[in-house]
Structure 1
Amino acid sequence: MPTYRVFMTTRPDIVPDTEYRGFIGLLPTAARPYALLARLDRPIGWWLLFWPCAWGVALAGGALQRWDMILWLLLGSIAMRGAGCVYNDIIDRDLDKKVERTRSRPLASGAVSTKAAWVWLILLCATGLIVWWQLNMAAKLIALASLALVAAYPFMKRITWWPQVWLGMVFSWGVLVGWTTIDPEYSAAMTLLYL
């Protein structure tokens, strides 16, 4: 059986959950906490939201005809993933203060006030609303239904040991939105892709 060794270096100037390097370091100082609040320093989250949307569009047959929709869904993924992170941090702000990994988050550390976080959340949702208007009615209804899953996610950490399963349901929802944007009729293939 092979032996694996994990090497970890701890740098006192970088807290694991928040980094002011790269893109974030290029922003004006006043904008940095808001970018961190929306996790713009961690693009993997919006990629996890975007790719199911793009696969839904592509597998429903719209990749070549509706490349504009794929770009709209990319913008929506960035905005709504950011909004979800801001909402999560608003709900968890008191818990985040008690956890070493999260205590430096903008709300927990006091870099952003709760009121300012709500304003930022509304601005991100307004961007999502612009994208929402680009969808057909079936996709609009499915996208709205996702808000219940998103709103419940922060509370899943309090009532279950597997909140990431719930988060997987949230991220994968984009398959349903992307597919119905191209083909609003129910499809078993769409459901199987989601599952």
Structure 2
Amino acid sequence: MRNDHGVSVPDSEHRGLTGLLPAPARPYALLARFDRPIGWWLLFWPCAFGLALAGGAAERWDLLLWLLLGAIAMRGAGCVYNDIVDRDLDRQVARTAARPLASGAVSLKAAWIWLGLLCLIGLIVWFQLNWTARLVAFGSLALVAAYPFMKRITWWPQAWLGLVFSWGALVGWSAWTGTLPLGTILLYAGCIFWVIGYDTIYALQDREDDALVGIRSSALRLGGQVKAGIAACYAAALGFWLMALGQRFPDPFAYLALLPVTGHFIWQVSTLRADNGANALAKFRSNRFAGLLMALACFVVGSA
């Protein structure tokens, strides 16, 4: 990312709680992106959508906490795995050159061990689910494993990330009901388009470096139409979510629950500056709030 003065800002920084850790532990916290909680919030929200729209959020608030822990651990594991695969590419991009593996602060062997420990936490969370949700969660592993390679073979790695980061909607719903009805699939589809939209915003930070080293992204593919493309993704997300809410509670008043998140998406796109990395990062991070608004909509409809 580059700030308003054109100076490259590193992706990994010692800040917040990460900066308070003992020096030997900091590179591992950075490798798992514990300094950047936006990632695990975005992984957690679809889990909350599924559980809330299925009607189980109030009664199984403890499961929400387990899903949050799982999101933190597995997002961290995904980041470690991604950096293991991308360590050579990361050295060529200004924003990622300081990452612990790319810079040599963490060895490859130590990164694999850290990945195993994070997956162990994920396994503990997995055992808190019913068998249907366990099988659904297990089904995401192939998608997760393939993701780091997508930026090498397709202009739309954001779409693959959508498949991965939205999977929690299926897990959350099935963890309560033990089923995957049509409403769940529609909810999942909406989350996929939401992820494509916000990750395209995120990719705006790296367009120059990505083009130089041959990394593909939707931000590069859309070119001058990137804002229109993001708006189309958000519109598709809202359309699928509208149908999902209608499946759960077939009353026109249920659709009003989507008005807050719709307004937030309109604000994001209308104020996005595609040529400003700091602006793009701020809009990307604002999706933490968008996820909260959607979770509340699912809770209201699911509890009706």
TM-score of Structure 1 vs Structure 2, range by shorter chain: over 0.9
What letter is aligned with 1:18? S
Question: Following TM superposition, where does structure 1 have runs of at least 4 consecutive aligned residues deviating by more than 6 angstroms?
Answer: none
- The amino acid of 2:183's aligned partner reads A
Q: Please tell me the residue identity of whatever aligns with 2:40.
A: W
* Unmatched 5+ stretches in structure 1: 1-5
In 2, the alpha carbon distance for the partners of 1:94 and 1:61 equals: 45
Letter in 2 for 1:147: L
* Post-superposition CA distance 1:163-187 (Å, at most 9, x none): 1111111111000000000011231
**In the alignment, is residue 33 of structure 1 matched against residue 27 of structure 2?**
yes
Aligned with residue 102 of structure 1, among 96, 103, 114: 96
Give the Å deviation of 1:48: 0.6
CA distance in 1, matches of 2:3, 2:87: 31
Output the aligned Cα RMSD: 1.5
Match of 2:4 in 1: 8
Distance 1:107 1:83 in 2: 14
* Aligned equivalent of 2:157, options 159, 163, 184: 163
SS in 1 for 2:23: coil
Q: 1:150 to 1:26 in 2, by over 3 A?
A: same
User: Which amino acid in 2 is paired with 1:8?
Assistant: D
> Residues 10 and 98 of structure 2 are in contact (CA less than 8 Å); yes or no, is this contact kept in structure 1?
no
For 1:13-28, list aligned pairs within 5 A: 15-28=9-22
Q: CA–CA distance in 2 between the matches of 1:153 and 1:186?
A: 24
- Specify the code of the residue in structure 1 equivalent to 2:152: R
Give ranges in structure 2 of 5+ residues lacking alignment: 190-304
**Alignment length, in residue pairs?**
188
Higher helix share: 2
Q: Secondary structure at the match of 2:94?
A: coil
Instruction: State the match for 1:111 in structure 2.
Output: 105
Q: 1:71 to 1:174 in 2, by over 3 A?
A: same
Q: What one-letter code is carried by the residue in structure 1 that aligns with 2:35?
A: D
Q: 1:7 offset after TM fit, Å?
A: 6.7
**How far apart in 2 are the matches of 1:173 and 1:149?**
10
**Any conservation in 1 of the 2:80–2:111 contact (CA below 8 Å)?**
yes
TM-score, L = length of structure 1: 0.93
Instruction: Spell out, residue by residue over 1:30-67, the C-alpha distance to the aligned partner (whole angstroms, 9 max, x if none).
Output: 11100000001111110011010011111111011100
CA distance in 2, matches of 1:182, 1:26: 38
With CA pairs under 8 Å and 6+ residues apart, which has the higher RCO, 1 or 2?
1
Normalised to the residue count of structure 2, the TM-score between the two structures is 0.60
Deviations 1:105-125 (A, max 9, x none): 000000000000000000000
Taking the aligned partners of 1:78 and 1:7, their CA distance within structure 2 comes to 28
Which residue of 58, 61, 64 maps to 1:70? Answer: 64
